[in-house]
Amino acid sequence: MVNDLSSALDRLDTLPASVELRKRSYELLSARPGDAVLDVGCGTGLAVAELAERGVRAEGLDPSPDMIGAARTRYPRAEFTLGVAESLPQADGSLHGYRADKVLHAVADPEAAIAEAARVLAPGGRIVVLGQDWEGVAVDSDDPVLTRRLMAVLSEGVPHPTIARSTRNLVLDAGFRDVQVEGRLLVFTGADAMMHLLRRTANDPDGPRWLADQLDRAERDRFFGMAPVLITSGTR
């Protein structure tokens, strides 16, 4: 399961739109060489490694021991810690930057996670949170009624499917200033990057038939999917 997720994330990370999203998140952090930045929900550690290449003192945190193990294997010189977003090990005011990508929809308490970000950031520190709107995920199909139902099933399996819409308010309520929100649309014309997600439809009685059609579309270069992503940033 973890290997499947890692492979899916790797495919997603190589998309030009994903590369641009990460680059934009680094710009919004406004971190200078030597600044301490925490990447929450770091997965296999790509963003930590890319921030380190910029001279930033980046550290990754993730709740999955397997992900942390993979990150340490891939980037042995970087620092990775096992932990959860709602209870960070960092001291009060010890960081310049806090970054969380594809995290808030999965945590138990998003409000507590943002409060922790506020706690560990020094005055003037930057928060950058990226998240997709799960109810906005869409896939082209000859059966739009079934597709809408299956997409709804996908979002229902996520603890906080619309949290990206609420992140601005969470950040404001935590006392951040200069809060801004930017939007991007991830477009998929091949099924590979979305397949880990779409395979969840197989549990539905009509899922296998629908999934087989999407795989056939991909083989004929007729697959199309999209997902809206919001980037919320602010200053402590």
DSSP one-letter string for 15-70: SHHHHHHHHHHHHHHTPPTT-EEEEET-TTSHHHHHHHHTT-EEEEEES-HHHHHH
Put simply, whether the predicted model's pTM sits higher than 0.75 gets the answer: yes
CA distance 178 to 9: 31
Q: pLDDT per position in the chain (236 positions), as tens?
A: 455 667 777 877 888 889 999 999 999 999 999 999 999 999 999 999 999 999 999 999 999 999 999 999 999 999 999 999 999 999 999 999 999 999 999 999 999 999 999 999 999 999 999 999 999 999 999 999 999 999 998 888 899 999 999 999 999 999 999 999 999 999 999 888 888 889 889 889 999 999 999 999 999 999 999 999 999 999 99
What residues form DSSP beta bridges with 95?
Answer: 121
Within the chain, strands assigned E span 36-40, 57-62, 79-82, 95-101, 121-132, 138-139, 177-188, 225-235
Domain 2-133+160-187+227-235, CATH 3.40.50.150 — does that match?
Answer: yes
Long-range pairs of 79-83 with CB within 8 A, sequence gap ≥ 24: 79/48, 80/42, 80/45, 80/48
Q: Where are the domains of the chain?
A: 2-133+160-187+227-235
